[in-house]
Amino acid sequence: MDLVTRLIDAFNRRDVDAFAAITTSDFEWTTSMAAVEGEVFWGREGIETYFGHMKDSWEEFLAVADEYRDLGDRVLWLGRLEARGLSSGVPVGAPLNILYDFRDGKISRMHSYLDHGEALRAAGVGE
* Cα Dmax for the chain: 42
H-helix or E-strand containing 56?
Answer: helix 43-57
15-19, 35-39, 97-101: which has the minimum mean pLDDT?
35-39
Q: What is the pLDDT of residues 67-93, one digit of tens each?
A: 999 998 899 999 999 988 888 888 989
**Nearest partner of 49 among 94, 16, 77, 1, judged by Cα:** 16
* Residues 24-72 pLDDT 10s: 999 999 987 654 556 899 999 999 998 998 888 888 889 999 999 999 8
CA-based nearest residue to 28, from 41, 15, 38, 19 = 41
For residue 127, the model assigns a pLDDT of 67
What pTM does this model have? 0.89
**Sequence-distant (≥ 6) Cβ neighbours of residue 121 within 8 angstroms:** none
Query: Looking at residue 26, what is its pLDDT?
Result: 97
- Could you tell me the sign of the dihedral formed by the alpha carbons of 86, 87, 88, 89, in that order? positive
What average pLDDT score do residues 101-106 get? 96
Residue 1 pLDDT > 70, yes or no? yes
Q: What is the DSSP letter of 68?
A: E
Full set of structural domains in the chain with CATH: 2-120 (3.10.450.50)
Beta strand pairing call for 58-70 and 40-42 = unpaired
In terms of DSSP bridges, do strands 74-85 and 58-70 run parallel, antiparallel, or are they unpaired?
antiparallel
